[in-house]
Amino acid sequence: GEAKGSDEKLYALELTALKRSRNFKSITLFVDRKSGEIRRTRLIDPYDNSSVIEFIKVSYKPLEASSFSFKPPTNVTVRDLSKKGSSLP
């Protein structure tokens, strides 16, 4: 879905557990429409208490490419969104 109010530039993705959890009812990820980055999370516990975490001035330190390996399945399109100026489809 889309976030309401001042969050027009964010998608709101609400995640709920398939089985009842004693830790949370739902977690909502607020995702930047342009970059795909998570800007905020909201957790609702079983008592309907809300905990919000905002990610402000996030910076990423480059990781060594040798730390990872990735072999996509055959016939899958891979898009490198790490390049400056790239955006989600």
> Which pLDDT score, from 0 to 100, does residue 80 have?
82
Residue 89 pLDDT greater than 80, yes or no: no
> Which pLDDT score, from 0 to 100, does residue 13 have?
96
Q: Which pLDDT tens digit goes with each residue over 2-39?
A: 555 556 799 999 999 888 888 899 999 999 999 899 99
Q: Where are the domains of the chain?
A: 5-67
Q: Which pLDDT tens digit goes with each residue over 42-69?
A: 999 999 999 999 999 988 888 898 998 9
Q: Quick one: tokens of 38? A: 């998570």
Global pTM exceeds 0.85: no
> Which pLDDT score, from 0 to 100, does residue 1 have?
56
> Which pLDDT score, from 0 to 100, does residue 33 have?
92
